[in-house]
Amino acid sequence: MRISALAAAAGLPLATVKYYLREGLLHPGTSTSATQATYDESHVRRLRLIRALTGAVGLSVQQARAILALVDDPGDDLYATLGRAVGSLPPTAAEPSADDPDPFPRARAALEALDQVYDPRFAAVAQLESALAAAEAAGMPISEERLLEYGRRLREIAAFDLERMPREPHAAVEYTVLGTALYEPVILALRRLAHQDAAARRELGA
Amino acid sequence: MRISALAAAAGLPLATVKYYLREGLLHPGTSTSATQATYDESHVRRLRLIRALTGAVGLSVQQARAILALVDDPGDDLYATLGRAVGSLPPTAAEPSADDPDPFPRARAALEALDQVYDPRFAAVAQLESALAAAEAAGMPISEERLLEYGRRLREIAAFDLERMPREPHAAVEYTVLGTALYEPVILALRRLAHQDAAARRELGA
DNA sequence: GTGATTGGATAGTGTTACTCTCCAATATTA
DNA sequence: TAATATTGGAGAGTAACACTATCCAATCAC
């Protein structure tokens, strides 16, 4: 398959495929001469994955590259790889000042209340802190009761996810990293729809 | 309070405050002369809300304006207002072609399986469809089992949210719209942390 | 052999979220 | 009161981003 066929197969403009190639999101094809290279199914699949990440998940090209790099070439430590993956997912929280003895007080309290591991190096901790701080600044702080409720339900979801993780290490990383990213929009949409469903039932029932 | 004091109180550059004023996110102060106006606490609070929405929630200025307009001036129909609010939240899904008899097959099937209302006019339906399609395109389709599990947990969360909705209509709209937007980053962070917690426990336990 | 296509590079485009500069009209301060 | 600073308002400038377009000589396909 030449490049124009690849673009057609993925339903993308040729210029865009060249762009992804240039940006290193898509691995090069096999050169057959100075002005020719061939591409295969793996390139088509990769383009679909790139579009899923930059489209529905809403990643920037940079962030998508970081995630893809992790999937392509994971470390042997799932925990650390997952940490790095989460770090390259939005929202990107600001780095804490290095000398702050307690840079994430809200997140630490939350995790203690939930009886979960608190590791300030993990990017999601900073994300949680800034999300809690934002809710607070906006005049809608999250009560401990709400936090416990959310935390409990999400731990149930996470347990479900973990149960279904493939055994084989490379597949496990791919599943975990992509599952974190790809299923998040589904989760948000489902919550919004659950709200709508509840509101509709209330409207009709009252 | 003059504009520079307002900017200082909100911790923002003066130019940025002027920008939000120009863009209509922040209501004007009370003019006291041709080159003077005064601002009060409501302006400080509004700036904090704007930053929460554009920062942690990740809205664009356009999207934040749409959300704020809804909070300022909601219709009397909570269901419809919630629908409009969700429509202005990311991710923005493409409009379906008007003549398609079944524009959201995956979302429809999902909602039927969950025994929830299916209303194709609701923006979250399109969002769910594109999220499911993206997961599928990326080679990680969501099984019905997973959908049921996620849907059930998120309905529990939504029920909790609804229980705590204020009775007074204006407050209810504000709670619903801002709660949808502001708590989403918290939910994502909690899921990521639950994964991390589970992975850490497994690492140590094994 | 001739016109189309290729890989590769460079430059241009439209959008977004600020940020800067300027201005004359006021305020504040000395 | 005179010198200095600040204000509201408008316009232009900027940096990042995700493409998109143009160009080129080398090579294909017919």
List, for residues A31-54, the tens digit of each pLDDT value: 888 888 999 999 999 999 999 999
Do B20 and B93 sit in the same domain of this protein? no
B30 touches strand D (CB under 7 A): no
Do A49 and A71 sit in the same domain of this protein? no
CB-based contact (8 Å) between B155 and chain A? yes
Q: Is the pLDDT of residue A85 over 80?
A: yes
Mean pLDDT by 10 residues, chain B (206 residues): 93 96 94 88 96 94 95 84 85 73 94 94 92 95 97 97 90 90 96 91 68
At B162 the pLDDT is 92
Q: Tokens 């709400």 correspond to what residue?
A: A146
3-state DSSP assignment of residue B23:
coil
> From CA B158, how far away is CA A149, in angstroms rounded?
11
> Which of A26, A199, A22, A149 has the alpha carbon at shortest distance from B83?
A199
Do A160 and A80 sit in the same domain of this protein? yes
Last residue of a domain, one of B17, B39, B54: B54
At B204 the pLDDT is 64
Do B184 and B106 sit in the same domain of this protein? yes
CB within 8 Å of chain A, chain B residues 48-67? 48-49, 51-53, 55-58
At A179 the pLDDT is 93
Last residue of a domain, one of B11, B32, B54: B54
A4 touches strand D (CB under 7 A): no
* HSE (side-chain half, CA atoms, 13 Å) at B163: 9
In order, the DSSP letters of A128-190 are: HHHHHHHHHHTT-PPPHHHHHHHHHHHHHHHHHHHHT--SSHHHHHHHHHHHHHHHHHHHHHH
Domain count, chain B: 2
> From CA A158, how far away is CA B22, in angstroms rounded?
44
> From CA A138, how far away is CA B148, in angstroms rounded?
33
Do B49 and B79 sit in the same domain of this protein? no
At B144 the pLDDT is 95
Do A42 and A123 sit in the same domain of this protein? no
| The one-letter amino acid at B184 | E
Q: Which nucleotide is nearest to A28 (CA to C1')?
A: C7
Which domain range does residue B13 map to? 1-54
Tokens coding A198: 């509840």
At A193 the pLDDT is 95
8 A C-beta contact, residue A113 and residue A142: no
3-state DSSP assignment of residue A37:
strand
A37 touches strand D (CB under 7 A): no
SS3 of chain A: helix, strand, coil, percent, to 5: 65, 5, 30
**Residue A114: band (very low, low, confident or very high) from pLDDT cuts 50, 70, 90:** very high
At B20 the pLDDT is 97
Last residue of a domain, one of A54, A74, A90: A54
Count other Cβ atoms within 10 Å, centred on residue A2: 13
Do A120 and A27 sit in the same domain of this protein? no
Torsion angles phi and psi, residue B12, rounded to 5: -125, 155
Of all residues in chain A, the percent with pLDDT exceeding 90 is 70
In order, the DSSP letters of B46-86 are: HHHHHHHHHTTS---HHHHHHHHHHHHS--S-HHHHHHHHH
Do A126 and A189 sit in the same domain of this protein? yes
Q: Exposed e or buried b for every residue in A41-70, given b needs 16+ CB within 10 A?
A: eebbebbbbbbbbbbbbbbeeebbbbbbeb
Task: Say whether A79 and B200 touch across the interface (CB within 8 A).
Answer: yes
Q: Which nucleotide is nearest to B38 (CA to C1')?
A: D7
Do A96 and A191 sit in the same domain of this protein? yes
What CATH number did the domain enclosing B45 receive? 1.10.1660.10
Reported as a single tens digit per residue, the pLDDT across A135-164 is: 999 999 999 999 999 999 999 999 999 999
Do A80 and A168 sit in the same domain of this protein? yes
Do A117 and A131 sit in the same domain of this protein? yes
> From CA B30, how far away is CA B38, in angstroms rounded?
5
Q: Is the pLDDT of residue A206 over 60?
A: no
Do B89 and B5 sit in the same domain of this protein? no
